[in-house]
A and B are shown apart, each in its own frame.
Chain A
């Protein structure tokens, strides 16, 4: 498109403080907030943004495969024009007005197919939108598509999707992580400026770490789960995936809040997250669990995270090592609880009210069984059966109750840690993104990759993943910062201060080049 070259001088570079600005070619190279400002000031129109977004997706989607469903181009432009009218009329003035967004495909969007990356929902068109989707639309965000994920969010690689494998924008032979792999890859490849993901055991943070972008899992109960197709209800939260910490704060502020349609939603005043975006972290107490650097963690990740510790210390934070304890019990407790809830939540898929139904059956029970057996993939079936087992008569106490008691101990360990520290710092993952096709062969090893992320879900804590370097092979490394429940502010503050010390790392796919 020639249009870009013509307009490039009008919106670049003077107002952008976003690192990496030297080679801005598309409006998708800006952060969501920057793009929102440009739209608001009239530098660019919503249609410009929509066109650049569609172009960016078109350009790299063949390589990345981040989307399950892309909204028809004409429809996107039509909606962009509508949003522009509302902006011009002063009806929309928020920071995300006119900004294109991609939504993970387990979040319901009225009239837009929502599959959970499963055959069983492959033709499901929700009759309503999730609360978070309505909130974003009310802010004027423009939905351009639904992103790929592990089937029912069960997985760490986005390889269990019925709709194909998403590739990592840093290296097409590697996985983008999961389960929000499509959302993280779409942001990392600059197909969109931001996306929504969901995090049940690390499904926002781990793909963000693997794809070199930023994402936060909020405190349990702070973002409505209404319209999120349930997997592990007591663990999961929807959250933003974006290019930087400021975007995360702005998007989170837009989607959080009490919702009567989610009975676990918490009534609290809006925290005013933007006020936490200061670089002053003098005196902030940061605890670094020794147990997060065990022998299973790659040495290059250790080094990158410890380098971040040095940087934060220099900026005035008080950093201390400590023993968190119980870290190795988080993954087994998580898999019992998540599988139990999955078994229960996924019982609704029976081929009657919506979704896929098997072709041949003699009676109702056979119809249920065949529908489910043909509709679900291997990983989903495995977790449903494990869930049935841990809840079954004779094993309930030994497994499910044991896991809930272990969860209580893990929560207690965090409670005492947060008496001493404002933020807990560590790696997001023990290794960088693995090669495609290697993880599913050894599920236990894959599950162990969640060791540093699942605790935040068990304890309900807010936790962010921010890029903190590249390994020798050029793959991104993520830094994790966790806060006590409802203390998103300190998490964002430390993340923001850290981010300000570094340049933005742009993926090869986003730079217009081909990832290896």
Chain B
């Protein structure tokens, strides 16, 4: 059941992925993802009826801990990597 990756689908994936491809990248990306899906479709040969999906390999239980602060205030260290900052805060474009 190969899915066609067309311009419309590519736009949709761009929205989901927060990516904006250049005009010259678009055709090749459609083809590449299309080829990968065609290849991935091989899995359809496998009968997985009634099989439980396996997410975690090692059986585990939820890990609980006290909500205690263990680190120091590292605000300056965190902010050091920000591409734009002002008065100890991140600067982002206007959102509303």
Contacts and interface: CB of A to CB of B under 8 A. Distances in A.
B21 to A, nearest CB: 7
Nearest to A346: B17
A332 B41 CA distance: 8
A315 interface: no
A133 B42 CA distance: 40
A125 B10 CA distance: 34
A155 to B, nearest CB: 14
A443 interface: yes
Interface in B1-39: 1, 3, 5, 9-10, 12-14, 16-22, 25, 29, 32-33, 35-37, 39
A388 to B, nearest CB: 4
Contacts of A356: 83
Interface string A376-418: 1010011011111100100100110111111111010000000
A264 B60 contact: yes
Contact of A368 (B18, B48, B63): B18
Question: Chain A, interface size: which category?
Answer: 35 or more
A388 B81 CA distance: 28
A333 B43 CA distance: 7
Interface in A120-174: 123-125, 127
Contacts of B48: 402, 405-406, 408-409
A389 B58 contact: no
Contact of B93 (A264, A347, A367): A367
Contact of B40 (A335, A353, A485): A335
Contact of B52 (A326, A354, A408): A408
A389 B90 CA distance: 31
Contacts of B92: 352, 364, 367
A220 B57 contact: yes
Interface in B46-96: 46, 48, 51-58, 60, 63, 65, 74, 77-78, 80-84, 90, 92-95
Contacts of A23: none
A459 B57 contact: yes
A376 B46 CA distance: 34
Contacts of A98: none
Given A221-B58, A352-B90, A382 B53 contact: no
A382 B77 contact: no
Contacts of A9: none
Question: Chain B, interface size: which category?
Answer: 35 or more
Contacts of B5: 389
A351 interface: yes
B53 A443 contact: no
Contacts of B12: 392
Contacts of B74: 127
Nearest to B30: A385
Given A329-B42, A355-B81, A444-B36, A407 B3 contact: no
A491 to B, nearest CB: 17
Given A355-B83, A369-B19, A406-B48, A399 B40 contact: yes
B57 A381 contact: no
Contacts of B36: 335, 382, 386, 443-444
A204 to B, nearest CB: 18
B51 A408 contact: yes
A329 B43 contact: yes
B38 to A, nearest CB: 9
B17 A264 contact: no
A384 B14 CA distance: 10
Contact of A353 (B21, B53, B57, B82): B82
Contact of A351 (B10, B13, B19, B83): B83
A402 B44 contact: yes
Interface in A213-240: 219-221, 234
A332 B40 contact: yes
B51 A444 contact: no
A336 interface: yes
Contacts of B13: 385, 388-389, 392
A127 B78 contact: yes
Nearest to B79: A353
A260 interface: yes
Nearest to A369: B20
Interface string A199-220: 0000000000000000000011
A373 B10 CA distance: 14
A385 B19 contact: yes
A190 interface: no
12 contacts: A335-B40, A347-B18, A354-B82, A364-B94, A368-B18, A372-B18, A382-B32, A402-B44, A405-B53, A405-B54, A408-B48, A409-B46
Interface of A: 123-125, 127, 219-221, 234, 260, 263-264, 266, 326, 328-329, 332-333, 335-336, 343, 347, 350-357, 361-370, 372-373, 376, 378, 381-382, 384-389, 392, 395, 398-399, 401-409, 411, 443-444, 447, 459-460, 485
- Give 7 closest A-B pairs by Cβ, nearest first: A404-B53, A460-B57, A354-B81, A357-B83, A408-B54, A405-B48, A127-B77
Given A382-B36, A444-B36, 7 more contacts: A234-B56, A332-B39, A364-B94, A373-B22, A382-B29, A406-B48, A408-B54
